[in-house]
Chains A and B, each alone.
Chain A
Amino acid sequence: MKNPAGTFARSLIIVLITLTSITPFYVLLLIALNSPSRRLADRLFFLPEFYFRNFADAWRLSSMGTAIMNSIIITGGALAIVVLVASCAGYAIARFPTRFHRMVFNTFLFCMMIPPIINTVPLYTLMRSIGGINTRWAMILVSAANVLPFSVFLYSSFIRSFSREIEEAALVDGCTRFSAFWMVTFPLLKPVTSAVVIITGLGIWNNYAQAVFFLQRESVRTIPLAVSMFFQQYGARWNLMAAASAIGMAPAVLVFLLFQKYFIKGLAAGAVKG
C-alpha cells in the first residue's frame, strides 16, 4: 500500500466511515442544543440553536453529578472485579482443561444465550434478602456477574491462542503456575483486557433494565436512570434528555480513549515468541 492512489482511497474510506458513524452523535448534540420550541421542519435544521440552558437544566433536574459519580463507582468496581476474576477463570479454562473447567465453560456459554429477564423476580428476592437494594456494592456484584460469561469466553479464547512456552520458562525460574499467570500471561492480555473493559464496561454503563429495580433512591441512581427522568407519562422532554445523555457519555468516551491505547501495534510484540 505504498502507492499514493491506494493511500488516498483508504483515507477517503476512513473519512466516510467516520462521517456515517458520527451522524447519530451529531444529531444528539443538535437536539441537546435546541430549545423546545425549535421545529424539526426548520430550514436550517442541521444547525443547532446553541441553547445551552438545556445542559444546565438537565444537570440540575436529574441530579447528574450524583448519577455520574454512581455510574463511575459501579462501572469501575464491576470492571475491576470482572478483569481479575474473568482473566483467572479464562486462564484456568484455557490451560487446565479438566472436566470441571469444561463444565464451567459450557455453563458460561449457555448462560450467554439465556434471556436474563427470567431472572427478574428471583434476583429481586435475593437482593432483598441480602440487603442489596439501593446499595452500590450489590449492583457492582450483579453487574459483574452479568458480563462474566462474555469476559471469560473472550479471555479463554485468546489465552488458548498464546503459546505456553513463556509460562513454562517462568516455571523453570521457580514461579508457581498461579504466579506465572500474573507475572507473564496477564501483562500480555492487555489488548483483550482493553476489549473486555470497553465492551462490557459499556453494557454496565448503559444498564437500565436491572438498575431500574435495584437502584431506587436518588442518591444511588445511575446515568440511564437519571436520563429516564425526562420521560413523562405522555411524551418526553427530548431536548433535556439529549443534553443529559450527552453529558453522561463523556466519561465513557474518556475511558475508551484511555484503553484503546492498548491496541497500539507492537507494544507487546517483543515478548510473544509466536
Chain B
Amino acid sequence: MFKRILSLGTVLVLLLGVSVAQGAEKKVAIKFFTGKVETVEWMNDLIKKFHAENPGIVVEQEYQKDASNVIKVKFASGDIPDITTVWDQGFADQGKYLDLSKETRWWSRVQPSIRELCTDLRSGKQFRIATNMTMAGIFYNKKIFSELGLKEATTWEEFKNNLKKIKQKRPDVVPMFVGGKDSWMLGHLIEFMAHGAVKQKYGTMGSRKAFLNNDAEKLAFDASGGPMETFAKRILELKEEGLFNNDFLTATYDNQLEAFATGKAAVISQGMWALSGILEKNKAIKDNIGFAPYPPIMDGTKPVILSAEDSAYLIPAESKHKEEAKKFLDFLFRPENLKAYSEFLKAPSAFTDVNADWGPLKDEVAKALKKGVNIGFTTEAPPGFSGDDAGRMVQELYTGRYKTPAEFAKAYKAAWDRAWNAARR
C-alpha cells in the first residue's frame, strides 16, 4: 500500500510535467486584475458576452482577496496586468498608470464631481475612471426614532442627546453599535468624522491637496481643538456615557449588521455596501432603515456625508494591450451594461446616461445628500498608514492607552508623518 502511494505520486508528477505546456493561441489575452469579489461572477458573464463580439480578444479575470498587496509584487517583478481596480498613489507618482484624461467619449458621460474625485492631484490627470458611487453615513432605526420622538441630529449635542434618550428609554437597545474588532470600521469613523472636518473646511480639491502634500497647517492633526483631538474627545464622551455596545473592541462587522437588522442597535455608521448584508439577516427591516449624514464633531461645522467614487478602473502604462483593454472598458461602459451593473451592485451609477433602480435606500440617500456636505474618501493617505492602522489607534484610544485626547492627536500625526515620509522619498 505504502509503496503504491509513493509510485502513484511519482507517476502523477511525471504526467503533470508533460501536460502543462499547452494552451498557447494567437488571440490577444488581456489580464483583468480585480480586488472586488462581489462582481467576479457578474464580470465573468460580461466577459463571455464580450468574447462573443470580439473573437480576437480573451479577457482573463483574476481576483485576489489581498489585491493591493499582490499588485505590489506583480509590479515589482514586471508582471503587469492590462486592467486593474487597484489604485495606489505611489504607482501613480511613478507613472505606472496610463493617462485616461483624453478619453472624452467616457468623461463626457461621467458626473463632474466623480471626475474630480478621479483626478490625480500631482499630475492633474485622470488615471482611473469610476463607474459608480457609494455613500456612507448614519444608519438609524426609524421605528425606534419615531417611538421616542427623535429627529436626525444636525449638531453633536443633538446626536449625543438622541443616544442618551435611547439608552434611557430603551435599555434593551444599544444606542450606537460599533464593530470595533474589524478596525477598518473605526478607520471609517476617523475618515468621515475627523478627516471630514478637514474636508468640509477646504472643499474637495483643497483638502485633497492638503492630504497629498501633508500640509501640516491645514490638516492641523495635532492642533489643540483640532479635528483629531476633538474626535478623540467625542469618542471618549460616548464611551463614558455608556452609549456604545459593551464589546466595542471585540464586536465584528457581522455582529454590527445583525444587531442593527434585529432592532437591537438604534444607530450604526455604515455605507451602502452593508445593505445586502443587513437585509440578508432580516428582510423586514427594509422600510425601517433611516439614513442621515454624520453629525459634525466640531461646533460651527456642518454634518457630512460620504459620497465617493466606486468601482474604478485603471490601465497600467506598461500594459502591452492598451487598445484591447480600452475596447473592453468601452464595452463595460455601455449604458445597458452599466445599468445592469449598478442594479447588481446596489450602487448608483456615476454615468449620467444610466438610470438604474439600484436599491431600497435610493430615496433616503437622495434626501440625505442634500442635508450634509458631500465628502470623498481620503485616497491621498500614505499607503503605509491605512484606514486599518487609523482604526487600530482608535482601539488604543478606547483601551485607555492615550492619557488625553491631545496625546492621541500627537500620536496620530506621528504615525501619519512616518508613513508619508517613507512613501515620499
Which A residues are within 8 Å of any B CB, using their own CB?
Answer: 36-37, 39-41, 61, 73, 76-77, 79-81, 83-84, 120-121, 124-125, 128, 133, 135-137, 140, 190, 193, 212-213, 216-217, 228-235, 238, 258, 262
Question: Interface range on chain B: under 10, 10 to 19, 20 to 34, or 35 or more?
Answer: 35 or more
A229–chain B nearest beta-carbon distance, Å: 6
Using known A-B contacts A80-B13, A212-B66, determine if residue A124 contacts B253 with beta carbons closer than 8 Å.
no
**Which of B41, B79, B282 is within 8 Å of A128, CB to CB?**
B79
> Would you list the 3 A-B pairs with minimal beta carbon distance, nearest first?
A80-B9, A125-B77, A124-B77
Q: Is the interface of B mostly helix, strand, loop or mixed?
A: helix
**Which of B35, B65, B253, B262 is within 8 Å of A234, CB to CB?**
B253
A235 to B78, CA, bound (A): 31
On chain A, the residues within 8 Å of B13 by CB distance are 77, 80-81, 137, 140
B258 located at the interface, meaning its Cβ lies under 8 Å from any Cβ of chain A in the complex: yes
A235:B37 contact, CB within 8 angstroms: no
**Which of B17, B41, B74, B77 is within 8 Å of A137, CB to CB?**
B17
The listed residue with most A CB atoms (<10 A of its CB), out of B12, B13, B63, B74, is B13
A231:B62 contact, CB within 8 angstroms: no
Contact stretch, chosen from B100-108, B241-249, B272-280, B392-400 = B272-280
B57–chain A nearest beta-carbon distance, Å: 17
Nearest B residue to A124 via CB reads B77
Number of A-B contacts (CB under 8 A): 97
On chain A, the residues within 8 Å of B12 by CB distance are 73, 76-77, 80
What 13 new A-B contacts, CB under 8 Å, besides A40-B255, A73-B16, A84-B10? A39-B258, A84-B6, A124-B76, A125-B77, A125-B78, A136-B20, A137-B20, A212-B70, A233-B35, A233-B37, A235-B253, A235-B254, A235-B274
B60 located at the interface, meaning its Cβ lies under 8 Å from any Cβ of chain A in the complex: yes
Q: Which residues in chain B, 51-72, are within 8 Å of chain A measured between CB atoms?
A: 60, 62-66, 70
B323 located at the interface, meaning its Cβ lies under 8 Å from any Cβ of chain A in the complex: no
Q: Which residues in chain B, 246-266, are within 8 Å of chain A measured between CB atoms?
A: 253-255, 257-258, 262
A231 to B254, CA, bound (A): 13
On chain A, the residues within 8 Å of B73 by CB distance are 120-121, 124, 213
On chain B, the residues within 8 Å of A190 by CB distance are 2
Q: Which residues in chain B, 1-56, are within 8 Å of chain A measured between CB atoms?
A: 2, 5-6, 8-10, 12-13, 16-17, 20, 35-38, 40-41
**Which of A79, A125, A231, A262 is within 8 Å of B37, CB to CB?**
A231
A234:B273 contact, CB within 8 angstroms: yes
A80:B254 contact, CB within 8 angstroms: no
On chain A, the residues within 8 Å of B254 by CB distance are 235, 238
Instruction: Annotate B271-296 by CB proximity to A: 1 below 8 A, 0 otherwise.
Output: 10110010011100000000000000
A133 to B70, CA, bound (A): 14
B64:A37 contact, CB within 8 angstroms: no
B257:A235 contact, CB within 8 angstroms: yes
A79:B9 contact, CB within 8 angstroms: yes
Nearest B residue to A122 via CB reads B77
On chain B, the residues within 8 Å of A41 by CB distance are 258
**Which of A39, A137, A217, A238 is within 8 Å of B16, CB to CB?**
A137
A121 to B16, CA, bound (A): 26
**Which of B2, B6, B17 is within 8 Å of A262, CB to CB?**
B2
A217 to B20, CA, bound (A): 14
On chain A, the residues within 8 Å of B63 by CB distance are 229
Nearest B residue to A83 via CB reads B6
B15–chain A nearest beta-carbon distance, Å: 9
On chain A, the residues within 8 Å of B16 by CB distance are 73, 77, 136-137, 140
A153 to B269, CA, bound (A): 53
A83 to B38, CA, bound (A): 41
A79 to B5, CA, bound (A): 10
A77:B9 contact, CB within 8 angstroms: yes
Nearest A residue to B253 via CB reads A235
A74 to B5, CA, bound (A): 15
A167 to B255, CA, bound (A): 63
Nearest A residue to B63 via CB reads A229
| Cβ contacts A to B, 26 pairs, < 8 Å | A37-B281, A40-B255, A41-B258, A77-B9, A77-B12, A80-B6, A120-B73, A124-B73, A125-B77, A128-B77, A136-B20, A137-B20, A140-B16, A212-B64, A212-B66, A216-B62, A217-B60, A217-B62, A228-B65, A231-B65, A233-B35, A233-B38, A233-B273, A234-B184, A235-B253, A235-B254
A151–chain B nearest beta-carbon distance, Å: 14
A232:B37 contact, CB within 8 angstroms: yes
A24 to B280, CA, bound (A): 25
On chain B, the residues within 8 Å of A125 by CB distance are 77-78
B386–chain A nearest beta-carbon distance, Å: 14
A136 to B17, CA, bound (A): 9
Nearest B residue to A197 via CB reads B5
On chain B, the residues within 8 Å of A37 by CB distance are 280-282
